[in-house]
């Protein structure tokens, strides 16, 4: 199992240390690093990662405030030279708190904590979620979901017996649906793998509806074919 991650720190030298240590952890895939926290927030709006390494004491916006601003934050490891921030970090359920300068063994310990949490999350049996529709939340069984379609800031949940409308984004949805059962195939569609009835070159038949497969998502076709075999 791999952990995907990004790192945010206003000091390039500190990011270089994280890059170097990350290369030594075989199950860690450091996708990107940022000296600008706002650029990192834009990245996180469009990309899912498991883990965020972030400095606390940064100009313009603190690492604490960055994490608080995320609607569904990934696991967090705070990195800082100031030990007085530790309590705030753990109040946000941070995986770990690395005091600079940190060693490879200490870095690996933090990575192991994140990996253990990811493993425990994936082994937890989840068979339903709650979908907010207006001022209410409705329980939805995962087995009833055919696909989810985005239209602006709204999401249509297409179930076997009805449809639900909620004000969310597909990025939000991806964080709560198990990746072993659901996959994004288009900027506007997430489908249930076990509901795929037919595969064509650029579309899938889910139930009795044709769902397009975006050009940048064609790599997921292999996953879908393996699921159907």
Q: What pLDDT digit, counting tens, does each position of 155-206 carry?
A: 999 999 999 999 888 887 887 888 778 889 999 999 999 899 888 888 899 9
Residues 154, 179 within the same domain: yes
Query: Which of 82, 106, 123 is the last residue in one of the domains?
Result: 123
What is the DSSP secondary-structure string of 48-101?
--SEEEEESS-SSS-HHHHHHH-TT--EEEEEES-GGGHHHHHHTT-SEEEESS
pLDDT digits (tens, 9 = 90+) for 68-103: 888 777 899 999 887 665 555 556 678 898 999 999
Sign of CA dihedral 43, 44, 46, 50: positive
- Place 13 in a pLDDT band, splitting at 50, 70 and 90: very high
Residues 19, 116 within the same domain: yes
Residues 81, 167 within the same domain: no
CA-CA distances (angstroms) from residue 32 to 58, 75, 98, 101, 201?
Answer: 18, 16, 19, 21, 32
Residues 109, 150 within the same domain: no
pLDDT digits (tens, 9 = 90+) for 119-164: 776 655 568 888 888 878 888 999 999 999 998 888 999 999 999 9
CATH of the domain at 198: 2.40.50.1020
Residue 192: give the domain boundaries.
Answer: 129-228
């Amino acid at each position: 199992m791999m952990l995907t991650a990004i790192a945010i720190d206003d000091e390039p030298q500190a990011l270089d240390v994280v890059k170097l240590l990350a290369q030594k952890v075989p199950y860690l895939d450091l996708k990107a690093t940022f000296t600008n926290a706002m650029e990192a927030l834009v990245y996180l709006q469009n990309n899912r990662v498991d883990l965020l390494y972030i400095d606390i004491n940064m100009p313009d916006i603190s690492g604490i405030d960055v994490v608080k601003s995320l609607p569904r934050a990934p696991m967090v490891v705070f990195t800082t030279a100031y030990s007085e921030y530790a309590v705030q970090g753990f109040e946000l359920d941070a995986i770990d708190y690395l005091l600079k300068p940190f060693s490879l063994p200490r870095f690996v310990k933090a990575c192991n904590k994140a990996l253990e949490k990811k493993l425990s999350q994936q082994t937890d049996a989840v068979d339903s979620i709650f979908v907010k529709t207006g001022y209410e939340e409705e329980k939805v069984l995962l087995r009833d979901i055919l696909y989810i379609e985005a239209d602006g800031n709204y999401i249509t949940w297409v179930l076997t017996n009805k449809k639900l409308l909620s004000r969310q984004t597909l990025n939000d949805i991806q964080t709560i649906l198990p990746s072993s059962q659901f996959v994004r195939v288009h900027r506007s569609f997430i489908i249930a793998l076990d509901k795929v009835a037919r595969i064509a070159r650029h579309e899938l038949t889910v139930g009795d509806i044709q769902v397009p497969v975006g050009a940048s998502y064609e790599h997921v076709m292999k996953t879908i074919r393996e699921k159907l075999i």
